[in-house]
């Protein structure tokens, strides 16, 4: 793949996370009917919480994860855990299990011991899936390494098998999108088949979901069925497949994919963030609407900082290969 296209895709995937997160943030927790009734389609970032275009825990954790990968030229569990804890801003809205994990890290507990203590055996929330765009990018060319690092990064806060498999699936979906040419049509069934073949799925939850997904690929406008079948809550099994579906049913356009994901209601910032990561990895930053890029928060760790991290990850792939 052309190196500058690859760079555009790395940036697209990480800014895509920020965009989906910020677009979905104001309506997190609302149903699709309530969103339709009160807002119609959400195509512009609304002023809520810390302001229009601001990110939540999804992007804040992605930033910490990317900082750690860059600093250590790969995975370092203790450092990544520490960065999650150091970057933690409670005003951004974190899941309760992750807050517990971050306090255990802050108290000095070794990172390998933290994840399993959350919810007595590990969380299956989507908190470790929403932040993995940098893993999908850095290891776009090394699926075995991608799988290993996605699982390890999840273990820090989400040690449940469903949390780890969700993170691995989401990271692999990002890497597959990065590997596809943005001007060619995507074969959705092929994408799904490749995806489930590339992750060793032990738990019996994701595979049947992907079968259902194949059956409803032609009817994305029936939101009731999509939400009933795939889910839209903050567990990984009820949100990672939903994000992949949002991308696969709207591969032609970044904006349409993310607007659709947010319009499904429920965990809108996170399903938006994960869809944005995949779709942004497919299209690249250059095909993301400029009105969205312009409104993203851009303070010390905002839009430009995220782009800089993406460029550093891209440079790591060209040096190593
Ligand atoms: O996964 P997590 O960081 O939450 C992420 C969500 C995203 O929507 C963010 O935007 C933010 O709003 O929060 O936090 P967790 O608390 O680990 O998991 C999220 C939810 O998954 C929990 O609140 C539970 O409802 C559910 N969950 C579990 N419930 C029971 N038993 C996850 N694991 C378990 C479990 O083991
Ligand atoms: Mg969030
Ligand atoms: Mg959320």
Task: Please identify, by atom number, the ligand 1 atom nearest to the C-alpha of residue 267.
Answer: 8
pTM score: 0.98
Measure 233 CA to ligand 1 centroid, in angstroms: 9
CA dist., res. 277 & res. 254, Å (int): 10
CA dist., res. 270 & res. 303, Å (int): 18
For residue 306, the number of C-alpha atoms closer than 13 Å in the C-beta half-sphere is 31
What is the per-residue pLDDT across 231-260, written as a single tens digit (0 to 9) for each? 999 999 999 999 999 999 999 999 999 999
For ligand 1, atom 20: residue with the closest CA: 125
161-179 and 143-155 helices cross at what angle (nearest 10)?
A: 140
Q: Within the chain, how many helices (H) and strands (E) appear?
A: 17, 0
Helix (H, G, I), strand (E, B) or coil at 111: helix
Measure 320 CA to ligand 3 centroid, in angstroms: 34
Measure 45 CA to ligand 2 centroid, in angstroms: 15
- Protein residues placing their CB within 5 Å of the ion ligand 2: 56-58, 269
120: left (phi over 0), alpha (psi -120 to 50) or beta: left
For residue 320, the number of C-alpha atoms closer than 13 Å in the C-beta half-sphere is 14
Which residue(s) pair with 110 in the sheet?
none
Task: Please identify, by atom number, the ligand 1 atom nearest to the C-alpha of residue 235.
Answer: 21
In CATH, what number does 3-320 get? Answer: 1.10.4080.10
Contact present, 227 and 263 (Cβ < 8 Å) = no
| pLDDT value of position 1 | 84
**Ligand 1, pocket-test mutation among 48, 49, 97, most atoms within 8 A of CB:** 97
Which residue(s) pair with 125 in the sheet?
235
Question: Residue 117 carries which DSSP code?
Answer: G
| pLDDT value of position 321 | 45
What is the per-residue pLDDT across 87-146, written as a single tens digit (0 to 9) for each? 999 999 999 999 999 999 999 999 999 999 999 999 999 999 999 999 999 999 999 999
What is the per-residue pLDDT across 164-195, written as a single tens digit (0 to 9) for each? 999 999 999 999 999 999 999 999 999 999 99
Question: Residue 186 carries which DSSP code?
Answer: P
For ligand 1, atom 24: residue with the closest CA: 125
Q: Which helix (H) or strand (E) holds 14?
A: helix 3-24
Contact present, 131 and 62 (Cβ < 8 Å) = yes
CA distances from 227 to 133, 153, 187, 194, 311 (A): 24, 28, 23, 24, 36
What average pLDDT does the chain have?
97
Contact present, 147 and 164 (Cβ < 8 Å) = no
Burial of 149 (0-12, 13-18, 19+ CB in 10 A): buried
3-class SS shares of the chain: helix, strand, coil, % to 5: 65, 0, 30
Closest ligand by atom to 117 CA: 1
For ligand 1, atom 5: residue with the closest CA: 127
CA dist., res. 295 & res. 293, Å (int): 6
Helix (H, G, I), strand (E, B) or coil at 300: coil
Residues with CB under 6 Å of ligand 1 are 56-58, 93-98, 118-119, 123-127, 160, 234-235, 267, 269-270
Contacts of 120 (CB under 8 A, 6+ apart): none
| pLDDT value of position 319 | 64
Tell me the percentage of the chain whose pLDDT exceeds 90: 98
Q: Where are the domains of the chain?
A: 3-320
CA dist., res. 60 & res. 136, Å (int): 17
Phi, psi of 31 (to 5 degrees): -80, 165
Measure 45 CA to ligand 3 centroid, in angstroms: 16
Task: Please identify, by atom number, the ligand 1 atom nearest to the C-alpha of residue 122.
Answer: 36
For ligand 1, atom 16: residue with the closest CA: 97
Closest ligand by atom to 92 CA: 2
CA distances from 20 to 4, 203, 272 (A): 24, 28, 4
Closest ligand by atom to 56 CA: 2
CA dist., res. 146 & res. 136, Å (int): 7
**DSSP string for residues in 144-166:** HHHHHHHHHHHHTT--SHHHHHH
């Amino acid at each position: 793949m052309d190196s500058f296209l690859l760079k555009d895709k790395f940036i697209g995937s990480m800014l895509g996370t920020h965009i989906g997160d910020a677009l979905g943030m104001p309506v997190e927790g609302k149903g699709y009917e309530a969103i339709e009734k009160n807002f119609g389609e959400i195509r512009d970032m609304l002023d809520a919480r810390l302001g229009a275009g601001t990110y939540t825990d999804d992007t804040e954790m992605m930033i910490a994860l990317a900082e750690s990968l860059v600093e250590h030229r790969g995975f370092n569990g203790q450092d990544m855990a520490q960065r999650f804890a150091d970057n933690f801003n409670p005003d951004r809205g974190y899941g309760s299990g992750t807050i517990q994990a971050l306090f255990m890290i802050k108290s000095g507990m070794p990172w390998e011991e933290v994840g399993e203590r959350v919810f007595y055996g590990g969380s299956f929330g989507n908190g470790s899936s929403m932040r993995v765009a940098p893993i999908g990018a850095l290891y776009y060319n090394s699926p075995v390494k991608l799988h290993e690092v996605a699982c390890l990064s999840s273990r820090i806060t989400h040690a449940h098998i469903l949390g780890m498999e969700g993170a691995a699936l989401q990271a692999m979906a990002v890497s597959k999108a990065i590997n596809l040419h943005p001007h060619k049509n995507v074969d959705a069934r092929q994408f799904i088949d490749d995806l489930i073949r590339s992750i060793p799925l032990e738990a019996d939850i994701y595979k049947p979901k992907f079968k259902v997904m194949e059956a409803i690929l032609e009817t994305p406008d029936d939101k009731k069925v999509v939400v009933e079948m795939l889910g839209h809550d903050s567990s990984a099994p009820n949100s990672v497949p939903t994000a992949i579906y949002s991308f696969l049913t709207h591969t032609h356009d970044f904006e349409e994919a993310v607007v659709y994901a947010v319009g499904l209601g429920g965990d809108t910032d996170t399903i938006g963030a994960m869809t944005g990561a995949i779709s942004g990895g497919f299209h690249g930053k250059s095909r993301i609407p400029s009105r969205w890029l312009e409104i993203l928060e851009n303070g010390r760790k905002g839009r430009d900082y995220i782009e800089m991290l993406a460029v550093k990850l891209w440079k790591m792939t060209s040096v190593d290969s």
